[in-house]
Amino acid sequence: MALENFSLIDKINKIKSEPKEALPLVVILLTLVFLGYKQLYAPKVAELNKELKKLKGLQGQLGQIQSASQNVDEISLNIEEQKLKFEKAKGLCYKKSEMTAFLRRIRELATHAKIDIKSINPQPLTKLMVGEIETEQLAVTFGFSGDLVKLGVFLRMLELEEKITFTNLPKLVPNNNGTFEFNISPVTVLISDDLSLGQKPGGEDFGEDFEEYE
């Protein structure tokens, strides 16, 4: 066979004397190197590229998980902030079960302002939408007789109340002796006792037993 008669030493000596003979040998060596690369190195590169693609995919998934985790944290924080705001807003309103407490509070404020109240008359409830929450307005009326000092003190105390309390005054015209006589109707906002975040409460009327508070 050809390989049995092949002598590397003879071939090298022949290349030294005839350089042109080196070209076929170089081609053979390059072919052997290429075949070795193809059989040994190339599969490893392909496998490495495959693993790198997997790693890149895992990195992408990890990034999505981290982003989702951050979003969850932000959502949780936002929910807690909304809960705090909601509880604070609830604290500004009287509950439906606290209607008589509002009447007592108005009488207390009038007493501090030295206003003599004979009776306080609750008015019919009126529906009031606050955003998407259904509430009710409660107005109570009593007769006022006095000067502007008493009236000013009473209005200032209404303004400083922790819970929502306001009133609309009629046109002020003094009588012959310089005093003012008219009806004052302080108003507050009622919410359902079981009002919770996301819930829309309904309202009920006073009933026959709540027509007048003395």
* High-pLDDT (> 90) share of the chain, %: 32
74 with 99, same domain: the answer is: no
At residue 159 the predicted structure's pLDDT band, cuts being 50, 70 and 90, is very high
Yes or no: say if 115 and 182 are a contact pair by the CB < 8 Å rule.
no
- Measured between alpha carbons, how far is 21 from 211 in angstroms, rounded to an integer? 124
Q: Greater confidence, 193 or 8?
A: 193
Provide the number of structural domains found in the chain.
2
Q: State yes or no: pLDDT of 204 exceeds 90.
A: no
Query: What is the separation, in whole angstroms, between the first and last Cα of the chain?
Result: 130
27 with 57, same domain: the answer is: yes
At residue 11 the predicted structure's pLDDT band, cuts being 50, 70 and 90, is low
Write down the pLDDT at residue 118: 84
Yes or no: say if 122 and 214 are a contact pair by the CB < 8 Å rule.
no
Whole domain around residue 22: which residue ranges? Answer: 1-91
Q: Which residue has 């037993």 as its token pair?
A: 209
Q: Greater confidence, 85 or 206?
A: 85
9 with 59, same domain: the answer is: yes
Render pLDDT for 21-38 as a digit per residue (tens, 0 to 9): 555 655 555 565 555 555
74 with 124, same domain: the answer is: no
Write down the pLDDT at residue 213: 45
200 with 177, same domain: the answer is: yes
- Measured between alpha carbons, how far is 34 from 41 in angstroms, rounded to an integer? 10
Q: Greater confidence, 144 or 48?
A: 144
Render pLDDT for 118-156 as a digit per residue (tens, 0 to 9): 889 999 999 988 777 888 999 999 999 989 999 999 999
Mean predicted lDDT score pLDDT of the chain: 75
80 with 140, same domain: the answer is: no
**Domain end residue (candidates: 31, 65, 91):** 91
**pTM of the complete model:** 0.56
For residue 209, how far is the Cα from the chain centroid?
Answer: 42
pLDDT-wise least confident of 48-57, 82-91, 141-150: 48-57
**201: Cβ contacts below 8 Å, ≥ 6 apart:** 133, 134, 135, 191, 192, 194, 195
154 with 193, same domain: the answer is: yes
- Measured between alpha carbons, how far is 190 from 203 in angstroms, rounded to an integer? 9
84 with 138, same domain: the answer is: no
70 with 56, same domain: the answer is: yes
Closest among 132, 123, 72, 79 to 102, alpha carbons compared:
123
**Domain end residue (candidates: 91, 106, 133):** 91
At residue 197 the predicted structure's pLDDT band, cuts being 50, 70 and 90, is low
Write down the pLDDT at residue 155: 94
Q: Greater confidence, 87 or 43?
A: 87
